[in-house]
Amino acid sequence: MNTDIGLADKGSPIEQLIRFFNGYFALNEKECEEVIRLFSQRNIRRKGYILQEGDVCRHYFFIISGCFKMFAVDPAGKEHNLQFAAENDWISDLHSFYSQEPSRMYIEAIEPSIVLQIEHDDLLYLFINYHKFDRNFRIITERKYINFQNRILQNISSTAEERYVSFTKQYPAMINRIPNTQIASYLGITPEFLSKIRKKIVT
């Protein structure tokens, strides 16, 4: 069992990130040192952006506290939520991050939040020099892909009620943290219809 987490201050955001990594492939002392060196902390106010449309996504974000939504805006100005993420989860526009092309997405804090972020080139450095990070992030990316795949299948084959039930299972700790309008946008329904679904499930 790896014990090198002692390199980070007890209870610190970096310790939280190292514990996350250790849940997959535990880091050794040198790898922990690299995490401490390459990840930086950032505090985000409520409704603050860590990415806006037209900007290049230069960071991959690990959420220490708070929660975020990733969304796109259609030509009519309507928002479409694609993803939520909270504590001990990752969020980024992966297309923009890896291609270094302008993003079509926004990532906004729903609550005051703290993240640890790593830059594109620094993450590639970890992948090349410490293959354990490559394996860890492969698992993270695969799980994100599975979630998106399941969501697409639900959108073409499930009722709105079934999609809501699936949402509650995927984000159980966030049901009371995300405004109904945001959940409705994610599900592709109106807030009024969401209220009807919730009442039906309760009764």
For 15, the enclosing helix (H) or strand (E) is helix 13-22
Helix/strand/coil for 97: helix
Average pLDDT over residues 114-119: 98
pLDDT band per the 50, 70, 90 thresholds, residue 6: low
Percent of the chain with pLDDT over 70: 95
Residues in the chain: 203
Q: Would you kindly state where each structural domain of the chain is located, as residue ranges?
A: 149-203
Give the Cα separation of 184 and 71 in Å (integer): 13
What's the Rg (C-alpha) of the chain? 18
pLDDT per position as a tens digit, 144-172: 899 889 888 888 888 999 999 988 888 88
Average pLDDT, the chain: 92
pTM score, whole prediction: 0.89
